[in-house]
Amino acid sequence: MRNSISRLAASIGLGVSLLAGSLVAPATAQAEGEIRIAEQFGIVYLLLNVVRDQHLIEKHGKAQGIDIKVDWTQLSGGAAINDALLSGSVDIAGAGVGPLLTIWDRTYGRQNVKAVASLGNFPYYLVSSNPNVKTIADFTEKDRIALPAVGVSVQSRFLQYAAAQQWGDKDYARLDKYTLAVPHPDATAALLAGGTELNAHFSNPPFQDQALANKNVHVVLDTYDLLGPNSPTVLFATEKFRNDNPKTYQAFVDALAEAADFAQHDKGAAADTYIRVTKAKIDREALLKIIDNPQYEFSVTPKNTYKLADFMYRIGAIKHKPESWKDYFFQDAKPLQGS
């Protein structure tokens, strides 16, 4: 079993590495009127699905008198996303708060990467099919936890945050040795199929909900219990792209705000959009039930991100201490009112 899951992780990791490798080649800086967006998997990227489906960037570009060419790509894991942004292969990156803080710190005083907006507030669940694992303290060498990127993804940082609460900051990485980098769709399939040592997954919607539909899978950790309602996933860009392409950047910001209003107020149409754009094989009613959860909020306003930032500084994961969330979010003409 160990070999089978190792081969799964290795094959997936190789694919992501090769893709990331192709993205780190030198790229020509984009001119005003072009934007390249990298997203990942899950309902947390629904706002981008709406933007894409309704051609909202193009719409808001025309309102400013420019035609905007939009390119979309999909990656898995914060490391690949950050590499793509720093290589100049994409202009807008979608990833968790953990990868954002890593790249903000890494580019501080240079490319000055900051967040553009949140993608909403959603609880992330660490789920397991091992009946003996009731809390994170129950994980042993026999368990393996799938997450998008080991030590980098927001799921990995949430797990470290929980470990620090359980055993103290000095043992924040205590559970890292049990983690594997596996994209959410593959991890969900492996968890439900069984037959490997992968018996836990730190996921996001709808994958966590699909797993929990199996009676043998249960929640071990809820990030809302850990941090309170929070914005786990954000969009970020370099200061140069923002400054060199003000109309394109503003069109993107306006498009995202319109998408948030659409998704928050018409859940049925939002569900249809998700299925249409992602071609996800999920029942519409099941999807609608997920996104109609009152704990979900589709909003560009970041909520409760600073606890993770402070934690990452405390453990030495970032060298620069942000004084507030505003340090790692751009403050535009209509400044966000977040936390």
Residue 323: inside a domain? yes
Residue 138 and residue 271 in one domain:
no
Residue 205: inside a domain? yes
Taking 90 as the threshold, does the pLDDT of residue 221 lie above it? Answer: yes
Residue 336: inside a domain? no
Q: How many domains does the chain have?
A: 2
Residue 102: inside a domain? yes
Determine the Cα–Cα distance for residues 183 and 133; give it in Å rounded to an integer: 22
3-state SS, 203-221, equals: CCCCHHHHHHCCCCCEEEE
Residue 210 and residue 183 in one domain:
yes
Determine the Cα–Cα distance for residues 117 and 234; give it in Å rounded to an integer: 6
Determine the Cα–Cα distance for residues 107 and 286; give it in Å rounded to an integer: 41
Please state the rounded mean pLDDT for residues 89-116.
Answer: 94
Q: Mean pLDDT in the chain?
A: 88
Residue 131 and residue 74 in one domain:
no
Q: Domain containing 177 — which CATH number?
A: 3.40.190.10
Residue 78: inside a domain? yes
Length of the chain, in residues: 339
* DSSP3 helix / strand / coil % (the chain, rounded to 5): 50, 15, 35
Residue 339: inside a domain? no
Residue 334: inside a domain? no
Q: What is the pLDDT of residue 80?
A: 85
Residue 200 and residue 247 in one domain:
no
Domain boundary among 227, 247, 273: 227
For the ranges 2-11, 158-167, 269-278, 288-297, the lowest mean pLDDT is seen at 2-11
Residue 269 and residue 146 in one domain:
no
Residue 140 and residue 210 in one domain:
yes
Residue 149 and residue 27 in one domain:
no
How do residues 232-255 score in pLDDT, each as one tens digit? Answer: 999 999 999 999 999 999 999 999
Domain boundary among 171, 192, 227: 227
Domain boundary among 198, 227, 256: 227
Residue 187 and residue 272 in one domain:
no
Which residue blocks in 87-153 are alpha helix, DSSP H?
A: 97-106
pLDDT band at 139; cut points 50, 70, 90: very high
Please state the rounded mean pLDDT for residues 8-36.
Answer: 50
Residue 258 and residue 315 in one domain:
yes
- The amino acid at 76: S
Segments forming the whole domain that contains residue 201: 123-227
Residue 54 and residue 99 in one domain:
yes
Taking 50 as the threshold, does the pLDDT of residue 10 lie above it? Answer: no
Residue 3: inside a domain? no
Residue 181 and residue 323 in one domain:
no
Q: 21 or 304, which is more confident? A: 304
Determine the Cα–Cα distance for residues 41 and 207; give it in Å rounded to an integer: 9
Q: Which of 111, 35, 109 is nearest to 66 (CA)?
A: 35
Residue 153 and residue 179 in one domain:
yes
pLDDT band at 7; cut points 50, 70, 90: very low
